[in-house]
């Protein structure tokens, strides 16, 4: 064919191919799935009937979503509300993202707890990728400027900022906000949050934009009625349903709050069907941490939750605090009836949702690694594609857990060192931790430390290595003000000199180590072991020894930890 005839044909072919490619890109963009991410509060593993058939709770919507998608029986979280949510939203451990406890303080001052400003949150990734982003319910990931939902990628936020809120909202008893301003809504929180989420979903679908709807119920966090004289948190009709079928009074309000919540999740599932977007909506349901129990001295408060076969509950790193309900449903993508016992964790939600939204997974988030793995390949293969074995680490103010394969290392070394990770390493090194084989002992009753010394030493070394590798730097914003609370923005506060956060040792331990009773500790007394084996604790001692005389007085200790 002559070149003069071939050139126009080639040009037309390239134009057609380019147009087809652009149409393919457009179709791909429009097919980004909607995401409905639902989080319950203090909802124990055993109070999902699909997990534990001995519970009196009836949750037909959640059981239906699990049966129609994937249910994970071996999911791990952090056993407290704020750190757990921060891990799901950052893909990192709480020791890395900065939210090692509930949010408080001002960046640049000792003891500050909050997601680091150079750490990018899930909602920010999705917003930048073109998602409509709405958050409804409990936030609890910071309220000062730079921490509030609207500062972190949410187009719309309605709910409360703190860790807890009463279920019945009145004009006189409300801390609800709408995009940072007081909200005048009244009613039951479960119903309000569901109503707002539904409105957001309908509006997003009408605008033909993919949506990310974060629905964070306060069910089943306290206050829950446990005594006759206390008011109920669930609507009366739901309490009567529970009592009529034999649920005890002690459990009735607790059960009713969960069943009322399940009913409203069902309403949203119906809305997705009505709007014909169910096939392109990934639903994720998870609890933030294990349930509270009625055991004496329960760390998270006494409420009648059930954690199934597991020991402990909220605020402990026993499995009762770490193991919670977790399921995903994506019609046509996740095979129905998938039940996975793969060892997965909080950070995987971050990675999975980014992967579903076709967003490349970052290797780092801020100055620490992204820890999550996408579960999409595992789920879409009905579990045939395995989740790689890895070490999972959990810390809550010195209450420690490490899971690798069947083995679990556990210990509580106290609150004295967190978040001074160097000091915590020394505490771990000096502590006798417990070793459990969860495949044989899910209730964590038999300590195998003496039977498996090599396994114990290896896992303990991994735990110390984790804390040794943390980049603990907190970038300080140029200006800091309160946002999202019912108070005006505050002026920036000057940063205080850096010092150790948390008490390095307690006054009681100080006196115990003062062997000669002279009111001061030498470095050897302070460390209480060979000095060359404790470089982290040596550094701490030197920081505390204000006059550098080689002795630490009780007054120096108190001054350093004010």
Query: Is 244 inside any structural domain?
Result: yes
Residue 222, CA distances (Å) to 41, 43, 99 in order? 9, 11, 22
Query: Binning pLDDT at 50, 70 and 90, where does residue 537 land?
Result: low
State how far the Cα of 212 lies from the Cα of 154, in Å rounded to an integer: 9
Whether residues 148 and 70 fall in one domain:
yes
Question: Which residues, in sequence order, are CB contacts of 512 under 8 Å at separation 6+?
Answer: none
**% the chain with pLDDT above 90:** 77
Distances (CA, A) of 496 to 108, 195, 223, 408, 561: 7, 44, 37, 39, 13
Residue 521 above 80 pLDDT?
Answer: yes
Residues 384 and 409 in one domain: no
CA within 13 Å, CB half, 24: 6
Q: pLDDT-based confidence at 12, cuts 50/70/90? A: very low
Residue indicated by tokens 């019945």: 168
Count other C-beta atoms under 10 Å from residue 474's C-beta: 18
Count structural domains, the chain.
3
Domain identity same for 289 and 155:
yes
CA distance 65 to 75: 17
Average pLDDT over residues 190-210: 97
Q: Which of 352, 369, 389 finishes a domain?
A: 389
The verdict on residue 17 lying in a domain is no
User: Which H or E run includes 30?
Assistant: helix 3-30
Q: What is the pLDDT of residues 323-378, one digit of tens each?
A: 999 999 999 999 999 999 999 999 999 999 999 999 999 999 999 999 999 999 99
Q: Are both 105 and 136 inside the same structural domain?
A: yes
The reply to whether 460 and 354 lie within a common domain is no
What CATH number should be reported for the domain holding residue 532?
Answer: 1.10.238.10
pLDDT tens digits for 282-316?
A: 999 999 999 999 998 888 889 999 999 999 999 99
Rounded CA-CA distance 2/25 in Å is 35
Q: What is the domain extent for residue 445? A: 397-468
Question: Considering the domain boundaries, does residue 8 fall inside one?
Answer: no
Tokens representing 245? Answer: 């079928």
User: Is residue 491 situated within a structural domain?
Assistant: no
Co-location of 230 and 265 in the same domain: yes
* 3-class state of residue 113 by DSSP: strand
Q: How confident is the model at residue 203 (pLDDT cuts 50, 70, 90)?
A: very high
pLDDT of residue 299: 84
Location of structure tokens 């062997």: 515
The 10s digit of each residue's pLDDT in 478-511 is 765 544 443 333 333 333 333 332 335 556 567 7
pLDDT at 481: 53
- CATH number at 171 reads 3.40.720.10
The helix/strand/coil state of 283 is strand
Burial class (CB in 10 A: 0-12, 13-18, 19+), 263: middle
Does residue 438 share a domain with residue 306?
no
Count of CA atoms in the C-beta half-sphere (13 A) of 63: 14
Same domain, yes or no, for 549 and 448? no
Residue 404, domain CATH? 3.30.1120.10
| 380 and 288 within one domain | yes
From 389, 420, 452, give the residue that closes a domain. 389
Q: How confident is the model at residue 451 (pLDDT cuts 50, 70, 90)?
A: very high
DSSP state of 74: S
Which of 419, 447, 468 is the endpoint of a domain?
468
Dist. CA 173–CA 55, nearest whole Å: 33
pTM, entire model: 0.82
409 shares its domain with 544: no
Within a domain: 358: yes
Q: Are residues 402 and 384 in the same domain?
A: no
Terminal Cα-to-Cα distance of the chain (whole angstroms):
88
Convert the pLDDT of each residue in 93-116 to its tens digit.
Answer: 999 999 999 999 999 888 899 999
Local structure of 512: helix, strand or coil: helix
In a domain? residue 129:
yes
Q: What tokens appear for 243 in the block?
A: 């009592």
- Whether residue 14 lies inside any domain: the answer is no
In a domain, 546, yes or no: yes
Average of per-residue pLDDT across 545-559 = 83
Is residue 60 domain-shared with residue 87, that is, in the same domain? yes
């Amino acid at each position: 064919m002559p070149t003069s005839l071939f050139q126009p044909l080639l040009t037309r072919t390239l134009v057609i191919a380019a147009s087809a490619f652009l149409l393919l890109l457009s179709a791909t963009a429009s097919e980004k799935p909607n995401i409905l991410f639902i989080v319950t509060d203090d909802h124990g593993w055993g109070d999902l009937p699909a997990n534990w058939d001995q519970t009196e709770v009836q949750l037909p919507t959640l059981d239906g979503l699990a049966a129609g998608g994937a249910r994970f029986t071996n999911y791990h979280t952090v056993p407290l509300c704020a750190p757990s949510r921060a891990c799901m939203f950052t893909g990192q451990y709480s020791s890395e993202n900065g939210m090692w406890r509930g949010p408080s303080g001002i960046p640049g001052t000792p003891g500050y707890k909050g997601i680091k400003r150079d750490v990018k949150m899930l909602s920010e990734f999705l917003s930048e990728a073109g998602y409509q982003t709405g958050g409804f319910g409990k936030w609890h990931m910071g309220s000062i400027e730079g921490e509030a939902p609207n500062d972190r990628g949410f187009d719309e936020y309605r709910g409360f900022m703190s860790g807890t809120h009463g279920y019945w909202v009145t004009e006189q008893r409300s801390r609800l906000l709408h995009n940072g301003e007081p909200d005048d809504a009244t009613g039951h929180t479960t119903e309000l949050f569901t109503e707002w989420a539904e409105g957001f979903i309908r509006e997003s679908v009408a605008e033909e934009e993919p949506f990310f709807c974060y629905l964070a119920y306060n069910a089943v966090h306290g206050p829950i009625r446990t005594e006759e004289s206390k008011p109920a948190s669930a609507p009366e009709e739901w309490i009567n349903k529970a009592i009529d079928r034999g649920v005890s009074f002690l459990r009735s309000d607790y059960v009713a709050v969960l069943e009322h919540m399940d009913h409203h999740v069902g309403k949203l599932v119906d809305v997705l069907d009505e709007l014909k977007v169910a096939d392109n909506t990934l639903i994720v349901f998870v609890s933030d941490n294990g349930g509270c129990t009625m055991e004496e001295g329960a760390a998270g408060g006494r409420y009648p939750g059930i954690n199934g076969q597991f020991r402990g509950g909220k605020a402990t790193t026993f499995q009762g605090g770490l193991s919670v309900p977790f399921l995903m449903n994506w019609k046509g993508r996740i095979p129905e009836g998938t039940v996975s016992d793969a060892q997965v964790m909080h950070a995987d939600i971050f990675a999975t949702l980014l992967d579903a939204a076709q967003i490349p997974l970052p290797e780092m988030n801020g100055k620490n690694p992204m820890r999550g793995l996408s579960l999409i390949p595992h789920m879409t293969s009905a579990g045939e594609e395995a989740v790689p074995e890895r070490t999972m680490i959990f810390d809550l103010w010195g209450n420690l857990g490490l899971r690798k394969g069947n083995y679990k290392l556990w210990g509580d070394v106290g609150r004295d060192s967190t978040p001074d990770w160097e000091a915590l390493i020394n505490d771990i090194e000096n502590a006798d931790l417990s070793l459990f084989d969860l495949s044989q002992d899910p209730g964590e009753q038999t300590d195998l430390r003496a039977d498996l010394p090599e396994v114990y030493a290896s896992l303990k070394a991994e735990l110390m290595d984790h804390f040794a590798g943390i980049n603990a730097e907190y970038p300080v914003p140029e200006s800091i003000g309160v946002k999202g609370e019912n108070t005006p923005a505050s002026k920036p506060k000057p940063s205080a000199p850096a010092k150790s956060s948390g008490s390095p040792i307690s006054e009681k331990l100080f006196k115990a180590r003062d062997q000669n009773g002279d009111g001061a500790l030498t470095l050897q007394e302070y460390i209480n072991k060979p000095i060359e084996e404790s470089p982290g604790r040596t550094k701490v001692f030197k920081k505390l020894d204000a006059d550098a005389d080689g002795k630490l007085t009780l007054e120096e200790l108190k001054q350093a930890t004010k």
